[in-house]
Chain A
Amino acid sequence: MTIVMRIIMSTIFLTSVSTSQLVLLTRIGVTQNDRWRQILVLRSTRADVERILGKAKEHAFIAHYPVEDGMLHIEYSDGRCKPGQYRAWKVAEGIVIQLLYIPDKSPNFSSLHLDLRRFRTARESPDVPELITYIKDDEGIAYTVQLDGTVSEIRYFPSTQYDKIRCSK
């Protein structure tokens, strides 16, 4: 499976799929090396992650895993939800709240053939405004694209369907 196909598949897996859909998709084509794509933001727990990828070196809020074709950085909730916070969710400690995937061989963004009309763009790197991030809030996925058009980071975050459990701003 090419990196492009994997990225597209990961989009399917890591967004708003139901458990039954996940099982079906899993049966269709997740290989042993792709198992990390079963991890779902705001659903999977640290135990789920460790069952799939093994224990991380440290019991930290961010765990780093080398996976096939890239590096995966998993951020867990600390279980806190204070007023004024925006990057926090009303979920228990140890729930996955964000995945950051950095591919080994950065694919060309245009080769993903995404419908860009359904994405918003943002400059998430204040010091490097030429890095453009394409974000699809309703699916909880963001691609950061380098100046040469290659994708350097893919971030999976809670989609808008989870807004109701977002800590109030």
Chain B
Amino acid sequence: MPTDLKERVQDITGNCSEFLNDFLNALNALSKSGKVYSHDFGKLLDRIKTVSTASDQFFAIQNAPAYAAGLSLGDGNNRQIYIRSNAITPATAAKNQQFRWNAIAQVTIAELLHHSRSSGTFSDPLLDQAALSLITGKELNDARAEMAKKDYAAGSVGHTLVKTRCKPTNPYGAPPSR
């Protein structure tokens, strides 16, 4: 795990702060009881007790599907985030550790969206609902088509939207000092 995970998270989220504000507002608007704890991803990360990489086996034990890159477990004072670290990861890491660390930060941000609920967690279908309320035109039609697919995985619309809009300043390097 990168020792500067928080800085990387804040770098990425800072590059799309307006969009993430809208996303969290959309999540807020979906419910009255599950208010978003904070729009500050640094604060959201501070609530997480454990952020760690984990094996395919760990993901399987947790009943996560094979395509899940991250896991959000626990609630309250026992919030946890796990990032899948499979057999390919060491090879990738050897080529570019910085790139891998940024990827870890991106998955962490995706999981923080689940943990952004004041009490408990937001589900993947709710993240999709929030995402759908933010997009229009072709982007919306494409998202609906994706959701209509036989192999559609809940959460993919919301997570894809965040991943495409929120990127590190230096994809192959450390975050700039702020």
Chain A residues with CB under 8 Å of chain B are 60-62, 64, 66, 70-71, 73, 78, 82, 84-88, 100, 102-106, 123-131, 144, 146-148, 150, 152-153, 155, 169
Contacts and interface: CB of A to CB of B under 8 A. Distances in A.
Given A87-B148, A127-B114, A146-B120, A102 B125 contact: no
A152 B75 CA distance: 14
Given A70-B32, A106-B33, A130-B73, A144 B123 contact: yes
Given A87-B152, A125-B154, A129-B63, A147 B33 contact: no
A28 to B, nearest CB: 27
A165 to B, nearest CB: 15
Nearest to A86: B150
B125 A152 contact: no
A127 B144 contact: no
B121 A131 contact: yes
Contact of A126 (B30, B64, B148): B64
Contacts of A66: 32
A104 B33 contact: yes
State the 7 A-B residue pairs at the shortest beta-carbon distance, nearest first: A146-B120, A102-B31, A125-B124, A125-B123, A85-B148, A129-B63, A104-B32
12 contacts: A62-B132, A71-B31, A73-B129, A87-B147, A102-B32, A102-B33, A128-B114, A129-B71, A131-B121, A148-B119, A150-B120, A152-B123
